[in-house]
Amino acid sequence: MTIAANFSHEIDLRIYWEDTDAGGVVYYANYLKFMERCRTEWLRALGIDQQRMRIERRLQFAVVDLTVDFLRPAVLDDEITVTAALERLGGATIAFRQEIWRGDVQLIDADTRVACLDSATLKPRAIPKDLFSEWRNAE
């Protein structure tokens, strides 16, 4: 599939008590939640409603591979920026480059791969060619 390789999305978040451990440092698993939110907003920016996709097309996305480098910690009250940039759109998978920044300091460096699944069987399915058609046509 041909698709614009530089399409990216970012969201800004603030770190709250609920995101941290007892020392006020972001609990490591919460970075994964932040990255999930950014990928969800990436899909929304493309006009893809995941609930509708699951109900009407019986499709959903799930993380199948993730590599994360924890470079620096975020702490209580930090304002962070989470990014998701398309690396590759395959037959049944989407590969993202993801980063988390506090200002000009990079906190997280990650590669995330999600698979398109049949929502009833949870088995891999090809990404429908029309799902990203508006984006492909904009190239």
Name the pLDDT band for 7 (thresholds 50, 70, 90). confident
Full set of structural domains in the chain with CATH = 8-137 (3.10.129.10)
Q: Positive or negative CA dihedral for 118, 64, 101, 139? A: negative
Map residue 10 onto helix, strand or coil.
strand
Question: 31-78 pLDDT, tens per residue?
Answer: 999 999 999 999 998 889 999 999 999 999 999 999 999 999 999 999
Q: How far is CA 109 from CA 23, 99, 116, 124, in A?
A: 23, 5, 23, 27
Instruction: Look at residue 90 and tell me whether its pLDDT is greater than 80.
Output: yes
Asked if 71 and 113 count as a contact pair (C-beta separation under 8 A), the reply is no
19, 21, 111, 118: the catalytic one is 21
Round to whole Å and give the CA distance between 23 and 76. Answer: 9
Q: Annotated catalytic, 49?
A: no
Round to whole Å and give the CA distance between 41 and 8. Answer: 10
Given this model, what pLDDT does residue 137 score? 46
Q: Across all residues in the chain, what is the average pLDDT?
A: 91
